[in-house]
Structure 1
Amino acid sequence: MDESVDYRDPDCWRRIEDLLVRTPPVPSGTADVHHCGPGWSWRPRIPDFDLWLVFDGVGQGRLNDDLDLSLEAGSLLVLRPGDHGTIDHDPARPFSVLSCHFSFRDPGDGSIAPPDPGLLPRRFIQVGAPGQLTGAFRHLVRAVHDPSPLRTVEARARLVEVLAEIYRQDASAQGVAATTLNPQLADAIDLIRASPAKRHSLAGTAAAVGLSTRQLSTLFSRQLHTTFRDYLVESRLDRARTLLTETTMTIHQIARSLGYGDPFLFSRQFRSRYGIPPSHYRDRG
């Protein structure tokens, strides 16, 4: 059985994030775009991890003697160390493939840190919407071969980006929604956080991002588990924490800069949200 992450576990995303942070994936330097010739045939025996994404062509294969593969554009293999098999394509419709070898490493000494197999994506995923993954994968391949300064940092960041998208696609293919922020909701958040002192209205903000008031209100509830009004207060108080710790502004100045006509209301809301008054929060810092 292909041991892999169970997306029905509500704690799985935290554990995946922990894996990618504590033992970050590192490209091995072997990353390429392959346009396979008509006589091409692959007999993989993998020493490390290998991402292998078909973006053109059709074919078939068998992995580890028990997993039959039907491959086309959007077919993704997430191969583990020791995996082996046979993969062939239709000579009339040869494969074009993106690939990248990598390993999980201990950030302290750089040693290989084998991950829990129960936190890995499935070995074979038919990606439903491959465009975003293909684009991210191309950037990863370019970063691996880029000779410019900081190429290693960029390549590692690109690999994490690709893996994050693979996890989302794997979850989606198994009928588990890996919710990402609605773009119009993200625009609304940007408007609010850019000007926390402004008296944003639900109607005005919804119009600015191209939604009805009901649609925007529903997005705040479903994706952020809060109301539009409560998010306005939260954004002001979050900004207040920054001003308290990073400026010499007085409490009254901070309250006025955040649109509070009554500094006592600001103090009450701050205490209610964080458990201590603004002055104590500053002293603690």
Structure 2
Amino acid sequence: MGLLLLMAYGSLILRMEPDGTELELKRGDVAYAPPGSRPTLHAGSGRMQELFVLGLEAGSPSMRELRLPEEGASLRTQRLDWMMGRLRTLLEEDSDREPGYRVRGEGIALEIAALWSREARAGQPAPVAARHLERMKAYIQDKYREKITKEDLGRCIGRTPNYAATLFRRGTGQTISEYVHAQRMRTAVYMLSESLLTIEEIADYLGYGEVSYFQRVFRRAHGAPPSRYVSRTD
């Protein structure tokens, strides 16, 4: 079984035997340890680390199609937010254990591996493109409750709207709209479980004019209605 390791926070040293290959993993790095590599982890800088590890059946037809490297490899992903969102969904599936959870979990793991494989084959983005991508993501983080268009992102980086939209999708694996909804859904989960606001108030706060639309987007993202995440104390 191969392992895909995503460094979400902090840093670690990944050592693979028998050749002794060492890879330093920092936030946003995704590494692949092929079958038989016997990976071990060693403390890096800092006291806190958060690492996600996915087991991948290397001999399955889907994995053979991905053509993951036969040797250990590491790449700084440009799609960390998207991958973290998918990992949260995978953890929710494993926790709830509803019918079909294994199938959905395996599908999510393959989806993450496929996107990482594409990034690895394409190589790291050019420095200018990477800066543009980070500026667009920061812009969305600041204004995700508003309607954001490719024209807005084009102005943000001083390029054409089509260039901005193409670069954004290539760099994140999501359209602008999908990325904005994902940001809103992360905030929605927090507000539903930690605040005393109603579902209607949260929907309005996040820029959804209709509660029914908010509920559809939420269910599509999390596989459950918003009411399931509501936490109330009497």
User: What TM-score comes out, normalization by structure 2 length?
Assistant: 0.49
Structure with the bigger percentage of helix: 2
Which structure ranks higher in relative contact order (CA pairs < 8 Å, sequence separation ≥ 6)?
1
Instruction: Give 1 or 2 for the bigger CA radius of gyration.
Output: 1
TM-score, scaled relative to structure 1: 0.41
